[in-house]
Every structure is written in C-alpha cells, then in structure tokens.
Amino acid sequence: MNKLEIGHKAPEFSLFDNNEIEHNLSDYRGKWLIIFFYPKDNTPGCTKEACEFKQHHTVFSTLNTEILGINTDNTESHQHFVNKQKLPFPLLSDLTGAVSKSYATLFKLGPIKFCKRHSFIIDPQGNIAKIYRKVSPAHHIEQVMVDLKTLQDNSQP
C-alpha cells in the first residue's frame, strides 16, 4: 500500500451508513469533505469528537463541506449513536476494516480491530488536502475549521 500524502487521490469507498444508505467517495465530488475515523460509538472521546462536529455542522454547511464519521461498528450501533447524540451527519460502517486500512487508520490486536482517531479533509476533486494523525477530541474541531478555511481561500482563483 502506498503512503497517503497531501495531493494524492483519496481512497475510494462504498459503505453503508446508520440508515442503511450507501455512500461513495464520488458522491461528494464538487464539495469539501471531512472524514473522521474514530474507535468506538458511545465512548467518551468519540462522543466528544462527534458532538464537536455536530455543534459546528451549520458552519461547515455554509463552507460547502460535508462530514462523515467512519469506524468498524455496525450500522445498528451507528443508528443508536446518531439518535442518542442527535448527530446531523452520517456514520459509515466499515465492518471489514478495508476502507480504514486504505486510509491507514486500522488498528488490529489479534481478532479485535478498530479505527485510530484520524481525520482527513478531501477537496472537491477528491484529493487529500489535509491529514490529521494526532487528534484530540476536545480541540480538533478548531484546527479543522482553520485549516479548511485556509485551504478554501488558497483554492480560489
């Protein structure tokens, strides 16, 4: 597997969300996309991170940006998490871990597999614009917003 780098095409995916709706990377062409990988639904750090994205969802919408959460939990777990936290964006289920592996976020410990807390900003052409490998759930959103605005300003002709 090649190392992901800024400017590379983002790995394609086809995953089902909490409502059993299929999402493909190509569905988001023409928009900015934030993909956040997280370890487990309904855990303290993951809840904090998801709720931070929820609180700023309107701002992201005004910036022509969609948000997707991805982990290895099943769609039923995601639906419970979305309902409990009233999340306004989909959570995608990567049961096999194949997509997580393609983004170099999959962690395996024997039979147990889960996603590391990593995030990506994908530009409207489907290229990786920013990679976050060290994410603090409480402070990540501020950095993502600053970086997204900078990337968008720099992409204007």
Active-site positions?
46
The torsion angles phi and psi of 156, rounded to 5 degrees, stand at -75, 135
Alpha-carbon distance of 34 to 108, in angstroms, equals 24
Residue 41 DSSP code: T
Alpha-carbon distance of 25 to 123, in angstroms, equals 11
Helix (H, G, I), strand (E, B) or coil at 149: helix
